[in-house]
Amino acid sequence: MVEYQNAHLDAVFHALSDPTRRAMLQDLSQGERLVGELAAPFSISLAAASKHIKVLEGAGLVRREVKGRTHVCRLDAAPMHAGMEWMRHYEAFWRTRIDALEALLLAEDATIQTDPEEKP
């Protein structure tokens, strides 16, 4: 199960690593779109747009429904939750470091205010 979760998380981060795919997700957050509508803002072919959408589908971020010759895409943001949880772990790590830096800088400011002749 752990290997599946790691592979799934890798697929989500891979999908999010591309600015075109992130823009497509942003567009889909406003509602469902046809493949052509997702491709329109970019200088890419429908085939290239379809490849991007397949990466998003592989990560579980997009659901595509085929209605005849029309492909309708919908956002499924649920897989991003695993990525957010992974980042939250490191947010706590950095928060501790930033809090320590803030305390150090406040102590330094207090020292300077106490003795203005002292040079930092």
H or E stretch including 104?
helix 80-114
23 lies in the same domain as 44: yes
91 lies in the same domain as 103: yes
As a whole number of angstroms, the distance between CA 81 and CA 84 comes to 5
Q: What is the pLDDT of residue 95?
A: 86
9 lies in the same domain as 65: yes
pLDDT < 70 regions, the chain: 1-5, 115-120
Q: What is the pLDDT of residue 116?
A: 60
60 lies in the same domain as 89: no
Number of domains making up the chain:
2
Kindly report the CATH number assigned to the domain that includes residue 26.
1.10.10.10
Q: What is the pLDDT of residue 1?
A: 40
Q: What is the pLDDT of residue 94?
A: 86
50 lies in the same domain as 11: yes
Q: Are 59 and 79 in contact (CB under 8 A)?
A: yes
Q: Which domain holds residue 108?
A: 79-120
| 52 contact partners, CB below 8 Å, separation of at least 6 | 18, 20, 21, 24, 38, 44
Q: What is the pLDDT of residue 60?
A: 96
52 lies in the same domain as 104: no
Q: What is the pLDDT of residue 6?
A: 85
